[in-house]
Structure 1
Amino acid sequence: MERDATMKYLTGNAIDVGTVEQLVLDDTLVEDAWDLTRHACPPLRDPMGPVLGADRPWEDGIRGCHVIYDERDGLHRMLYQSANVEAYQYFHFDPQRFDMARHGPSKFVCYAESEDGVHWRKPMFEGFPWRSHARSNVVMSGRTRAQSAEVFWNPDQSDEQRRYIMMYRDTFNYTGPDEQDGRCLAYSADGVHWSEDRDNPVTRGGSDGAAPVCWDPAGRQWFCFCRPKVMAFDRKATDRPSLGNTRRRMAVMTSPDLKSWSFPRAAIVPDEIDINTMCVEGASTVFKWGSHFIAVVPISDHTGSGFIETQLAFSSDGFHWQRLPDRPNYFDRGPDGSWDHHAAIPLCPPVEWGDKWLLYYMGSSRPSMRHWLSHSTSGLGVAVVPKGRLIGRFAGDRDGFLLTRELIIGGRHLDIHVERVIDRDGRPPCEIRVGLARRAHEANDHRDMGYYEGFAINECDPMGATSSALRVRWKGNEDLGALIGKPAYLRFHLRNAGLYSFRFSDR
């Protein structure tokens, strides 16, 4: 919710949410809550191990990926980040001897495809050589590298040759007096054949780390979540060593066209609750779901175990971010000795798979994730989570309540995304009910006016099923047509159940 909408609400106006799914993971639309706790829904990792590994001569590791389902062609297309250690050594530590033709790029983007999103193949394409290999699946090398590549749908599908967009880091005129390092753009019709934007690089001042790009259809602008440029720590002002990369934070910049970008402003920085001052690795992926932006934030214990955990962060506007107060781990690492024991990091927005999401993640069996040890990355795995199930508000055996802010009823029906708590002997049964509450609207009349007639909590048909779109009914009536456009508070009553989201609907 935008800041001006918040101010309008605080000065008396109800909030128009239309038919957009509204998440209840923060207080954006929550007025009050009673005996509820927030929990993230953990993804279920595929126990069979990685679905894709580094098995080509040019692949010394896999460090990132983006998966897009192309409905027209019936294919899942994966663009994944790989690296070659020898080329990396020359590029960074002996740049005068680096030869793109002889060594190849240090970082590059490869292609794989799948019908089901689980079983993948790597086509070898004519016209895509790599060193002495006439064929490869390396589809983007850049001028000297294609690093931290983000691949996403173009919201404007009118140009066949620009269905896919890639944003990546590259260096032009490497080691020359006019060297330029920054973010670049490329376009493709099929995810394989890419054409670089003639204005590359579109930004100057590159940095390592992921830089997720996300389109906001409500605000009609692009968001990029990168590392900040202006830092609190100053190496020259202190004798204290930094013990690592001081840019480990998340910043945000915006653009109307992917070319004109605002200056990156800090959005998530480590605080007193975090394990150290450099633990926030930025965001490995950011996506918009319903009312909120969702980010997966890797948390690195650089000075201790070396493990990398993950946390969910969320924002209603893309600029102001929160994490759960106890900072729980979101995505479990594998058991001791497994291929993903030291790190398991979701890398791209979830891919819809029926009523579920597929989450692709990078796994590592070793504690080091340094660029020159890219081979420490074991591969890419996949996990499954029910679609839209992110962070819910849960009640136990005791009755819990949630009151939304005053909203404009935006559709003829009310659907809710809920999860029942597994029954145990002696535990009260799961129950979910909703009432449409109202207040007085005359000047200086501050009374609670109860419920709209026929829509009280006690008139709501009790619900006890897990569903992403459970239709609410009051004595069998689901029609809110007479209330469309009127203000109401939604009061939820929960017992042994959790609420993830709600939405008004006309379907």
Structure 2
Amino acid sequence: MRLSLIAFYLFTLQLPLGFTPSVGADDDVIDIGNRRELMVDHFLIDKLDNVQLVLNRPRDEGVALTFEQPWEGLFCGYCTVIKDKDSKGEDLFRLYYRGNPEPGADGDEDEVYCYAESKDGINWKKPEFDLFTVQGHKKNNVILADAAPITHNFCPMLDPRPGIPADQRYKAIGGTMTSGLVALVSADGIHWKKLRDEPVISKKMVPYKYMFDSQNLAFWSDKEQKYLCYFRVFEDGIRRICRSTSDDFVNWSAPVLMEYRHHGGEAPIEHLYTNQTHPYFRAPHLYVAIAARFMPGRQVLSAEQAKALNVSPNYFKDTSDAVFMTSRGGKFYDRTFLSGFVRPGIGAQNWVSRTNYPALNVVQTSPTEMSLYLNQDYAQPTSHLRRYSLRLDGFSSAQAAYAGGELITKPIKFQGSELSINFGTSAAGGIRVEIQDLSGKAIPGFSLADATEQIGNEVARTVTWKQGSDVSSLAGKPVRLRFVIKDADLYAFKFNE
């Protein structure tokens, strides 16, 4: 009996995890609609020939905010950055961070949550409130106090779900194992109250010995039409991440332990102290995670070096950095890149314990730039938040050298009339795009010979062929994209109306 083409692929090829057979059945075609797709994983990639996915490390832009106030200090951390709008409809960046000048147990009474804001995400100021008297200071930038243990790791979000009551436009979770994760709400992001007294995710819901002792987060997923919560647990002595879902922010599903994939196989299990998972603002179906990778016992500094820096005792015997992961929902992170995303900087102060921890959320700070922020100089008098920048969509790229190469997608369907790419080339480089049928044959008018070579460096360039840019005749039909790349980077592509 003759095997069908599908059976041939399934039974005679050794296919990597997540591979979509290259056949014509509708079930094998990925419908991307008009979503922006980034070159961060292999989800859409069928073939790479002399092209590789490359991690692009952020550029250090210097200190964004110092933690010099008496109620802030050495142990500030667990930061969240939210890009919002003010009453005039203008950009307003909100920064939330724990203030804690002295070492102590998680959830100590003297932990508070502080607030700063910015018009551009670059220059920050600390407003003066009179909400709480802290260390004898009636005027300060504290927006939450006397709320232990919530103030250990309070983590807010801006809720974009339609129909949300005005007094719940902002939501947050916080708490340790003693309290469970408690939900809070706010109308303005400044004045907070508990959604209810009982935790929304309690210790009894989580089948692990230790949990919650880190920055835990939640957000609304347009893709899944649910609230998602990612929180820290210990599994076999390793710091891991669990995920839970909810329809109402109150009732949460049983948590699922996140797993890690690397090139179709399993990725190494490493201590991830924080996960910082959130929808990417230009492609919210894709969750990005700028996680803090913790290396316990990997000591760099000597006791003498630590003393010279005035590092708090016992906070120099480990190292940490930031790593980049992605998820398209469910229980898997793709760790396409195992190497560090933000490496510790030059100088002994960057190699202490629990420094280089990323803030939650990547935000756009110019028409072509996005920013992320890291806590640095932890447990030192110079503790601060530092800003790093990348081009829009530029976490990673499909890159070819001067000799050239090509990337061919799996079968896709799209909606739109033009193809736009985010790319950069050398003066000698370029990118050409061919649109193929499922068999890999060029569609007339969209062949490589018809393609206009794209040369330059732009976050949005419309791809053209001899006949122009209109691809609407192919919308809704299964096709493949063939990117022929020379000395260039492809960061993302998107079909536009």
TM-score in terms of structure 1 length: 0.79
Hey, what does 1:293 align to over in structure 2? 287
Q: Which deviates more, 12-21 or 204-213?
A: 204-213
CA contact (8 A) 1:79 1:191 kept: no
The answer to whether the Cα contact below 8 Å between 1:67 and 1:76 also exists between their aligned partners in 2 is yes
Match of 2:96 among 66, 70, 79: 79
| Native 8 Å contact 2:399 2:487 kept in 1 | yes
RMSD (Å), alpha carbons? 2.9
| 1:201 corresponds to which of 188, 199, 202 | 199
User: Are the counterparts in 1 of residues 404 and 486 from structure 2 also a CA contact under 8 Å?
Assistant: yes
* CA deviation string 1:101-160 (max 9, x = no partner): xxx824321111222322222222123222533333221236322222221111136533
Paired residues for 1:19-30 under 5 Å: 19-30=34-45
Q: 2:128 aligns with which of 124, 130, 136?
A: 124
Of 484-493 and 118-127, the range deviating more from structure 2 = 118-127
Map Cα deviations across residues 404-457 of structure 1 (whole Å, 9 max, x no partner): 11111311011112222x45xxxxx21101111003xxxxxxxx3622221111
Query: What letter matches 2:295 in structure 1?
Result: D
Cα shift readout 1:344-391 (whole Å, capped 9, x = no counterpart)? 2321211211221121111126xxxxxxxx557711111111111112
> 1:134 matched to which residue of 2?
138
Native 8 Å contact 2:401 2:486 kept in 1: yes
Query: Distance in 1 between the 2:384 and 2:403 partners?
Result: 44
Q: Alignment partner of 1:335: what SS?
A: coil
8 Å CA contact 1:63, 1:80 repeated in 2? yes
Cα distance in 2 for residues equivalent to 1:168 and 1:8: 44
C-alpha contact (below 8 Å) 2:181/2:212 kept by paired residues: no
Q: Which residue of 1 aligns with 2:435?
A: 436
Q: Distance in 2 between matches of 1:381 and 1:338?
A: 14
* Letter in structure 2 aligned against 1:360: Y
3-state SS of paired residue (1:482) = helix
Structure 2 runs not aligned, ≥5 long: 1-17, 204-210, 300-317
Query: Where do 1:58-457 residues align within 5 Å?
Result: 59-73=73-87, 74=90, 75-85=92-102, 88=104, 105-141=109-145, 143-145=147-149, 146-156=151-161, 158=163, 159-169=165-175, 181-205=179-203, 207-228=212-233, 231=235, 233=236, 246-268=237-259, 279-288=271-280, 290=283, 291-305=285-299, 306-324=318-336, 327-337=338-348, 343-354=355-366, 355-364=368-377, 374=379, 378-420=383-425, 422=426, 429-439=428-438, 448=439, 450-457=441-448
8 Å Cα contact 2:67-2:74 kept in structure 1: no
The whole-number CA distance in structure 2 between the counterparts of 1:199 and 1:256 is 19
Q: Is the 8 A contact 1:340 1:363 kept in 2?
A: no
Distance in 2 (alpha carbons) for counterparts of 1:270 and 1:27: 11
After superposition, the Cα gap between the structure-2 partners of 1:164 and 1:8, relative to the gap in structure 1 and judged at 3 Å, is farther
- Name the aligned partner's letter for residue 62 of structure 1: C
| Counterpart residue number, 1:491 | 482
Q: Distance in 2 between matches of 1:328 and 1:431?
A: 28
Q: Are 2:132 and 2:145, in contact at CA under 8 Å, matched by a contact in 1?
A: no
What one-letter code is carried by the residue in structure 1 that aligns with 2:361? P
SS of the residue corresponding to residue 430 of structure 1 reads: strand
Contact 2:71 2:100 in 1 (8 A): no
Report whether the alignment pairs 1:474 with 2:474.
Answer: no
Distance across 1 between alignment mates of 2:21 and 2:430? 34
With over 3 angstroms needed to count, the CA separation of the structure-2 counterparts of 1:71 and 1:221, relative to structure 1, is: same
* Identical aligned residues as a percent: 22
Q: Which runs of no fewer than 5 residues in structure 1 stay unpaired?
A: 93-103, 172-179, 234-245, 366-373, 424-428, 440-447
For the residue of structure 1 that corresponds to 2:449, the secondary structure is helix
The residue type equivalent to 1:317 in the other structure is G
Matching residue's letter, 1:51: L
C-alpha displacement at 1:330, in angstroms? 0.5
Task: Tell me by how many angstroms 1:84 deviates.
Answer: 4.6
Q: Which moved more, 1:464-473 or 1:148-157?
A: 148-157
**1:298–1:308 CA contact under 8 A, matched in 2:** yes
- Give the deviation of 1:461 after TM superposition: 0.4
Query: Residues 261 and 332 of structure 2 are in contact (CA less than 8 Å); yes or no, is this contact kept in structure 1?
Result: no
Given the alignment, which residue of 10, 22, 25 partners 1:12?
25
Bigger shift: 29-38 or 220-229? Answer: 220-229
Q: Given the superposition, is the C-alpha separation of residues 481 and 324 from structure 1 closer, same or farther in structure 2, using an over 3 Å criterion?
A: closer
Between the two proteins, the alignment pairs up a number of residues equal to 442
> How far does residue 338 in structure 1 lie from its aligned partner after superposition?
5.0
Contact 1:50 1:380 in 2 (8 A): yes
| Aligned-residue offset at 1:208 | 0.5
Alignment check: 8 A CA contact 1:62 1:377 kept: no
Q: How far, CA to CA, are the matches of 2:75 and 2:125 in structure 1? A: 17
Q: Distance in 1 between matches of 2:120 and 2:411?
A: 43
Q: Distance in 2 between matches of 1:339 and 1:463?
A: 41
Contact map agreement 2:440 2:480 (CA 8 A) in 1: no
Shift of 1:248: 0.7
1:252-285 CA distance string (max 9 Å, x none): 222222222222222146999988x653324144
Q: Is the 8 A contact 1:341 1:364 kept in 2?
A: yes
CA shift for structure 1 position 10: 6.9
